[in-house]
Chains A and B, each alone.
Chain A
Amino acid sequence: MEKIVIIGNGISGVTCARHIRKNSNKEILIISGETEYFFSRTALMYVFMGHMRFEDIKPYEDWFWKKNKIDLMFDFVEAIDTDTNTLTLKSGQTVNYDKLVLAVGSKPNKFGWKGQDLKGVTGLYAYQDLQEIERYADNTNNAVIVGGGLIGVEFAEMMLSRGISVTFLVRESKFWGNVLPEEDAKLIANHIKSHHVNLKFNTELDEIIDDGQGKVKGVKTNTGEIIDCEIVGLTAGVSPNITFIKSSKIEVDRGVKVNRYFETNIKGVYAIGDCAQLDENINGRRSIEQVWYTGRIMGETLAQTICGNPLKYNPGPWFNSAKFFDIEYQTYGWVSANPNPNEKRFYWKHSDSLKAMHFVWDKHTDEFIGVNTFGIRLRHELFDKWLKEKASISTVMSNLNIANFDPELFKHYEVDIIQQFNHKTGKNIVLSHKKWWQKLIQF
């Protein structure tokens, strides 16, 4: 029987294993060194905040793996020999494989700052990072977070939940500036500030100051300001975790280089998830996508290929979501930080500054390009369909009430949105009266 070895028990490796099991009887072994069982990385913050226990963020009960004949090994792979199909583990053991899947994820970026390895300085990626934060949290009054993105906000929320004050250093002049358009960035920045976070734009970390005992006691910024703190959160992005792969014959660039079948330069070796770098551009998507959903799609897709049904990676329209304190955010399609020349945009904001929507479409063809929504939930399936069908902005706007996914009895804002939209664009959209959304999406 063919033996598939997967390195990494994150969402991509585990999804791949599950789908291989569904489609075949192959021997499956997952080797992973972080935790014994798969957990949801995206939920680490909730464990720290006391919303859940660690066991609650494991999506499958521990018996699941044995029952589905997925073998687990709790160890680190140190070397890969692709000539003999052998892995050498940290424990000294060796493991052979017929096919190898690299699903080794990312690691937090550290840019060679002075003091970046002091105690109390940590990223927020691994289970071990959480333990590190926990170790110092009780004796911490101030924390400094470096890098304005999604994980930074989560870090800030974690700190505040334990009564720790937060200073947030952002290099750019706006929040999550390489992703969010101006208006959206401002909305989120104001919301973060309303939670008493000291948000500093145009500020970079210069160095982290040692208290003399190998622990952090403060940071110095590029403006020369010194901020006292006991925890420093480094959340300036992540990059593929490929150090241990570099010594093998597998070709790497920023990540492990793969084609649309996730094949590396070595036959029988594949890479998926955060660590994979695609060699071609698909529908404007980035070559490395460090998101949960991408890892899951890749895992499913590769499982088909491995089970004898070669399948080209062809991700559907882009979507993503996040939560900034109390504001939920969803995005479908492309809403780039800076408008492209062919685009038209419409931005709506509620007076409470907790809800907003940002629409993008093509000014020549009226084709809908994307939407950012804040504080109002939208139906994924409907937007997926519209994006695939290249629906027009008029279709989207006139069916906005049907696309709403907020809980029942919630207030609706579509009438106001459409009114402003018509006013701004000179169009004459009328809200659809179809009550039931499913009538519309007939798969």
Chain B
Amino acid sequence: MINYSIVGPKAQKLNVIQKIGLIISGLGVSIILLTWAGMTVTQKSLWLTVTILSLIIGIIIYTYGTYKHKSAGVKNDGVFFRSLTNRGVMGWIVAVVLTVFYVFLYWYPEHLGLGTNGQPNTGLVGLFDPLSLLLKGQVASQWFVYGTIYTILILSLGIKFLVKYRHNRYHFIRTLVVICSQLILAYLLPEILEGFSNPDHYFAKDLKYFWPLNYYFFDNWHLENMTEHGGALGMFYFIWGMFMFLVLTPLLTYWVGKRWYCSWVCGCGGLAETAGDSFRHLSNKKLWVWKLERWIIHIIMVLVFIMTIATLYGYFTEKSTFLGLDIYTVFKQPYGFLIGAMFSGVVGVGFYPILGNRVWCRFGCPLAGYMGIIQRFKSRFRITTNGGQCISCGNCSTYCEQGIDVRAYAQKGKNVVRASCVGCGVCATVCPRGVLKLENGPEENRFGSDDVIVLGNDGFKVKE
């Protein structure tokens, strides 16, 4: 069902402060769009500062206008009436612009202004040169532009999220952590470290970006850049990456569920939780989609395993084929294109306003698949259902970004133990009857009391 009106069936009346906020942030967006279209600015530092500040300040002013008159609490009024958040024209426009941006980013960076063959950067990439030079003493790449915009969005829309959920300390602390881990761990630290490393021997310097989410971790060039050219720092990142995957991830996921990563530190999750918050209800809750999800995410997980085995085989044997198949064209290239670029970027973020904010995390992410299996079968995490208090209203299911039909569990008095739950905690927040609580506890009984349900009658025990 597409809603064709620009403003949605119930026009949202913006107040003056909201309008001012929109105009200011619109300035930053316009500069980005114009430079993307090819405009090259001369006073780069000035315009870049204007761009970044107007984005952040504009969004903060808009947030103030939106929540100033609202008491602290769940404020989802009109979510399904607005064009942007209910797959109306606005939603589609944003989706198309984002998608096109990703296509340029991955495959046509020169159209974003990336200077090739020693040419200086122009346009959008050129606009970000001053900041890149400041942080690491190199001119910008399209990835630097992307990382910067990404971080700005998490920061400013994260602030919006903080204000929206200010009555809830779980969200407050979680969101502060997610903002900081993006800003510091994923952005500032790696970019600054980059300045001290050899630009010809790049390796990923984001401490929380490890295999299999980082699918090129075991690529020959990446391994070599870390272990042979990277010095002590490279060695550290190599050991750290292995440690994260083999030790810390299973341990933490056992202890608190995959949420420690997915909704507390991950960059993809960080964007989904902040910039994507307005689209969380668009995830599909139907049973057949859940079935599809289990197939897709686990197939991708298996694919990344196979691809990595092929790569490592090539690395150690110094052969270019694995089982008679070319390692690069059969294993690495298709995975990088289809999963690394198409799925996680174009579909994962570009389709936020159409499919919801966690498409990648739910259907695609191999790391989420790995942690999901631990969470489902060997973890202390569960969402406890509060006895018989559920009124089957559906708020929890509707606002679950992972498309989990939380209500189906809650109305039976059962606990929610699901591989895909990222522990964002929003289901528990929007529940008007205080039915849900994310918690860690002993493994026995984590599925909820199997025979007793306090739905009511004392005289018999319900078995579900």
Residues of A within 8 A of B (CB): 11, 40, 42-43, 46, 49-53, 56-59, 61, 138, 161-163, 194-195, 292-294, 296-297, 300-301, 304, 309, 311-316, 319, 321-323, 325-326, 328, 330, 377-381, 384, 388, 405-411, 436, 438, 443
B452 touches A443 (CB 8 A): yes
A50 touches B79 (CB 8 A): yes
User: Given contacts A407-B428, A407-B438, is CB(A311)–CB(B454) below 8 Å?
Assistant: no
A50 touches B434 (CB 8 A): no
A57 to B397, CA, bound (A): 10
Closest chain A residue, CB of each to CB of B463: A22
A56 touches B72 (CB 8 A): no
A408 to B10, CA, bound (A): 36
> B418 within 8 Å of A by Cβ?
no
A321 touches B456 (CB 8 A): no
Give the chain B neighbours of A163 by CB distance below 8 A.
Answer: 13
Chain B, range 408-464, C-beta contacts under 8 Å to A: 408, 411, 425, 428-430, 432-434, 437-439, 441-442, 445, 449, 451-452, 454-460, 462
A312 to B457, CA, bound (A): 9
User: Given contacts A293-B388, A319-B389, A409-B173, is CB(A52)–CB(B287) below 8 Å?
Assistant: no
Closest chain B residue, CB of each to CB of A323: B432
> B319 within 8 Å of A by Cβ?
no
User: Given contacts A40-B393, A300-B456, A377-B437, is CB(A328)–CB(B432) below 8 Å?
Assistant: yes
A334 to B76, CA, bound (A): 33
A51 touches B395 (CB 8 A): yes
The residue that A316 contacts in the complex, of B71, B78, B454, with Cβ under 8 A, is: B454
A408 touches B438 (CB 8 A): yes
Give the chain B neighbours of A314 by CB distance below 8 A.
Answer: 457-459
B456 touches A52 (CB 8 A): no
A323 to B434, CA, bound (A): 9
Give the chain B neighbours of A138 by CB distance below 8 A.
Answer: 10
A100 to B454, CA, bound (A): 27
> B138 within 8 Å of A by Cβ?
no
User: Given contacts A56-B394, A56-B397, A407-B425, is CB(A328)–CB(B434) below 8 Å?
Assistant: yes
Give the chain A neighbours of B407 by CB distance below 8 A.
Answer: 59
Report the interface size class on chain B: 35 or more
> B47 within 8 Å of A by Cβ?
no
Give the chain B neighbours of A381 by CB distance below 8 A.
Answer: 386-387, 449, 454
A40 to B394, CA, bound (A): 8
Determine chain B's interface SS by DSSP, over half rule. Answer: loop
How far in angstroms is the closest Cβ of chain B from A421?
22
Give the chain B neighbours of A438 by CB distance below 8 A.
Answer: 441-442, 445
The residue that B78 contacts in the complex, of A40, A57, A161, A296, with Cβ under 8 A, is: A161
10 additional A-B pairs beyond A52-B394, A314-B459, A438-B445, beta carbons within 8 Å, are A40-B393, A49-B78, A50-B79, A57-B393, A138-B10, A161-B78, A300-B457, A378-B434, A379-B387, A407-B425
How far in angstroms is the closest Cβ of chain B from A281?
16
Closest chain B residue, CB of each to CB of A326: B73
Closest chain A residue, CB of each to CB of B462: A300
How far in angstroms is the closest Cβ of chain A from B436?
9
B76 touches A59 (CB 8 A): no
> B67 within 8 Å of A by Cβ?
no
A163 to B14, CA, bound (A): 12
Give the chain A neighbours of B454 by CB distance below 8 A.
Answer: 316, 380-381, 384
A292 to B433, CA, bound (A): 12
Give the chain B neighbours of A379 by CB distance below 8 A.
Answer: 386-387
A380 touches B386 (CB 8 A): yes
A408 touches B391 (CB 8 A): no
B167 touches A51 (CB 8 A): no
Nearest 10 interchain pairs by C-beta: A380-B387, A297-B456, A326-B73, A377-B434, A43-B393, A50-B78, A42-B391, A323-B432, A161-B77, A50-B81
A296 touches B433 (CB 8 A): no
A194 touches B441 (CB 8 A): no
The residue that A443 contacts in the complex, of B287, B408, B437, B449, with Cβ under 8 A, is: B449
B169 touches A43 (CB 8 A): no
A322 to B431, CA, bound (A): 11
B395 touches A384 (CB 8 A): no
A50 touches B10 (CB 8 A): yes
> B291 within 8 Å of A by Cβ?
no
Closest chain B residue, CB of each to CB of A195: B71
Chain B, range 71-108, C-beta contacts under 8 Å to A: 71-74, 76-82
A311 to B428, CA, bound (A): 35
The residue that A293 contacts in the complex, of B10, B77, B437, B456, with Cβ under 8 A, is: B456
B286 touches A61 (CB 8 A): yes
User: Given contacts A381-B454, A438-B441, is CB(A409)–CB(B77) below 8 Å?
Assistant: no
Q: Would you list 5 pairs from A and B whose C-beta atoms are within 8 A, ordered by A residue? A: A40-B394, A59-B408, A311-B459, A311-B460, A407-B438
Give the chain A neighbours of B72 by CB distance below 8 A.
Answer: 326
Give the chain B neighbours of A61 by CB distance below 8 A.
Answer: 286-287
B439 touches A408 (CB 8 A): yes
> B5 within 8 Å of A by Cβ?
no
Chain B, range 170-211, C-beta contacts under 8 Å to A: 170, 173
> B35 within 8 Å of A by Cβ?
no
A59 to B386, CA, bound (A): 18
B386 touches A407 (CB 8 A): no
> B63 within 8 Å of A by Cβ?
no
Closest chain B residue, CB of each to CB of A435: B441
Closest chain B residue, CB of each to CB of A52: B398
A315 touches B458 (CB 8 A): yes
How far in angstroms is the closest Cβ of chain B from A348?
18
B398 touches A56 (CB 8 A): yes
B77 touches A407 (CB 8 A): no
B434 touches A321 (CB 8 A): yes
A321 touches B393 (CB 8 A): no
Closest chain A residue, CB of each to CB of B256: A408
B13 touches A316 (CB 8 A): no
User: What sequence of 0s and 1s flags, for each residue 362-405 of chain B, a beta carbon within 8 Å of any chain A beta carbon?
Assistant: 00000000000000000000001011110111110110000000
A194 to B72, CA, bound (A): 12
Give the chain B neighbours of A294 by CB distance below 8 A.
Answer: 456
B457 touches A311 (CB 8 A): yes
Give the chain A neighbours of B13 by CB distance below 8 A.
Answer: 163
A297 touches B457 (CB 8 A): yes
> B168 within 8 Å of A by Cβ?
yes
A58 to B285, CA, bound (A): 12
A217 to B202, CA, bound (A): 73
The residue that A43 contacts in the complex, of B77, B391, B439, with Cβ under 8 A, is: B391
